[in-house]
Amino acid sequence: MYVFFIFATILKTKLFMKKLYLILFCLAFLSGYTLQAQNNDTKTKTEKTAKPKKAKKEKSEVRTGWTFGILPSVAFDADKGFQYGVLANVYDFGDGSIYPEYFHSLYFEAAYTTKRSGLFRFAYDSKYLIPNHRLKIDASYLPDALCDFYGYNGYQTVYNAGWAKKKFTDTYVSRAFYKSQRDLFRVAADIDGPIAGNWYWNAGIGLLGYQIGSVNLEMINRNKKPENILPDVDGLYEKYTKWGIIAPNEANGGWHPYLRGGLTFDNRDRQQNTQKGMNAEIFWTYNAAFGEDKEFNNLMFNASFRHFVPVYKDYITFAYRVAAQMTVAGNSPFYLSNYYNNLFIQRVLYEGLGGGNTLRGVLRNRITAPGYAFANVEFRFKICKFDIGKEHFFIGLNPFVDAGMILQPYRLDERTIRQNIAENDPEFDVSQLDDYIVFGDKANVYRPHFSGGLGLKLMMNDNFVLSVDWAVPFDKRDNDGMANIYVKMGYMF
C-alpha cells in the first residue's frame, strides 16, 4: 500500500504532469502502429531460425516489397531527461510469403535529450541473409555532455546530493559536480545459429570507442542566464583524475575492438510479453587495447537467467532475471566497467548498475566496479483488456524490486591516494577526504543496493509495449529523489 500511496502522490505534482503529457503523446503514436511493424520480438528462437512458411493471410492484408515508416522518437528517463527526435524503419517483405515477418529490416534513429545526451543509430536485422541464422548489425554514435559519474565501488564513494543541487544553498557546488563528458562510438555485428533443440551458439565482433573528459562548461553555459551559469570548479571526475584513482591512460577513454562468443538456451513461448519459459545465456567478451592502453586488454564473463512463470492464465505472470558480469582476466577501465555486455543489441545502450536498464530508481552508473551481479523481480498483472477497431490492447501493472551488488571492487589504497593529493592537488584539504571516500570496514563495498517501484504498461497486439516505470531506492545514498520515472518501449527484460 505504501508504494501505491507514493505513486498517487507523485501523480499530483507539476513535475509528473509534464511527464504525463509525454506519456499521452507516446500513446497517440503507439495506437497508430499497424501490423507491418510487428517485428522480430514477437517470435521465439525456434521460429526465428525456421524456414519461411506461407502466410495464411488474405491477399489484401499481405504486405510485399519494401515499406517505410517514420515516427517521432520520444521517451523519458529520470537520468537523461526528455528525448526528442525522429526514427524510421524500412522493411523488405519480399513476395509476402512470410508476412508479418520480414526478410530485412533497416532502422534509423536520431534524437537528443534535455540533459544533453544524444542518440544517432543505424541497425540491421535479418534471419534470411544467412539462411538459418540471425544477423544483427549496429552502428551508433552516442554523445553525452553530462554523463553521470559517481565514483567507484558504490557506497565506498560518498554521494552528497547537496553538492549538485541548488536547493541546498549552503552546500551547493555545481550541477555538474557528478558529471563528465562521454562520447561513445560503437560498431557491432552479432550472429546466432541452432545447435539442437532449444540450444543456440552466439558470436560477435565489434568496436567501442570512448572519448572521456571534463564537462565542456563553455558549451553548457552558452546563452544561460547568469544565475544558471555553472562555476568552473573541479567535479568528482577531475578529483579522481588528480588523485590517481583514474589512471592517466584511461582518463580520456580509448578504442577497444572486441570478440564475443557464447551459448544460449531459450524455450520461451515468445520474446515480447513472455508468458512462460526460460532464457539462459553465458558468453565471454575479449576487449583488446593497444599502445598506452594495452594494460586494459581484458576478458569479461557474462551470465544471465530469465524465468517466466504463469500464475493465473495469461493475467498474472511472475518474472525474474538474475545476471552477472565479471572481469576474469586483465584490467577493466572504469568506462568499460559501466558498459553491460549483451549478445544482441536491442536497446540503445546497456549501462552498468544503476538506471532504467538494471536498477530502476538508483542513480545511473552509481555502482562502478569490474564485477557485479543484479536481479529484477516483478509480478505482471493484466488489469484491463479492450479493443480499438481491429487492434487488441491491455493495461498492466507491474510491482517490482531490483537488487544489485559488487562482486569485484576496485582497490582504493588510502595511503597512495593521500600521496597523490599532496603531489597533484595541494590545495585540497586532506582532512575532508572522508567526505568523498570511505576506507576500511565502513566502506560497505559488498553491501547490496535495493530499489522498488511500480510499472504501468500499455500493450497493443501482444507486441508493442509502452512502459512507464516509477522507482525509488531503499537507501538515500543511491538517490535522494522520488521522481524517478522511465518511459520506454518494451519490458526491461
Neighbour-count burial of 215, counting CB atoms closer than 10 A to its CB (0-12 exposed, 13-18 middle, 19+ buried): buried
Model confidence at 58, pLDDT cuts 50, 70, 90, reads: low
CB-based contact 406:446 (threshold 8 Å): yes
Q: Where are the domains of the chain?
A: 2-489
In sign, the C-alpha dihedral spanning 269, 130, 491, 89 is negative
- Round to whole Å and give the CA distance between 292 and 107: 36
Using the predicted structure, report yes or no on whether residue 366 has a pLDDT greater than 70: yes
User: Which phi and psi angles does 65 have, rounded to 5°?
Assistant: 70, -155
Model confidence at 65, pLDDT cuts 50, 70, 90, reads: confident
Strands 179-196 and 298-312: unpaired
What is the predicted pLDDT for the residue at 477? 96
User: Which phi and psi angles does 362 have, rounded to 5°?
Assistant: -85, 140
Q: Give the tens place of pLDDT for each residue, 114-134.
A: 888 899 999 999 989 999 899
Residue 114: CB atoms within 10 A of its CB come to: 11
Considering 50-59, 95-104, 267-276, 303-312, the range whose residues carry the highest mean pLDDT is 303-312
**CA geometry: angle 234, 238, 243, nearest 5 deg:** 115
Q: Give the tens place of pLDDT for each residue, 11-48.
A: 444 444 444 444 444 444 443 433 333 333 334 444 44
Start-to-end Cα distance in the chain: 25
Hey, what's the cell of 13? 505534482
**What average pLDDT does this structure show over 367-385?**
96
What is the predicted pLDDT for the residue at 96? 84
- Round to whole Å and give the CA distance between 213 and 466: 35
Dump the DSSP string for 45-85.
Answer: HHHHTSPP------GGG---SEEEEEEE--EEETTTEEEEE
- Round to whole Å and give the CA distance between 460 and 30: 8
Among 256, 248, 262, 341, CA closest to 300? 341
- Round to whole Å and give the CA distance between 184 and 138: 13
- Round to whole Å and give the CA distance between 97 and 62: 8
Q: Is 36 helix (H, G, I), strand (E, B) or coil?
A: helix
What is the predicted pLDDT for the residue at 238? 97
What count of residues does the chain have? 493
Residue 318: CB atoms within 10 A of its CB come to: 13
- Round to whole Å and give the CA distance between 46 and 121: 28
CB-based contact 455:487 (threshold 8 Å): no
CB-based contact 407:374 (threshold 8 Å): no
Q: What's the CATH number of domain 2-489, 2.40.160.50, 3.20.20.140, 2.30.38.10, 3.40.50.300?
A: 2.40.160.50
- Round to whole Å and give the CA distance between 355 and 343: 20
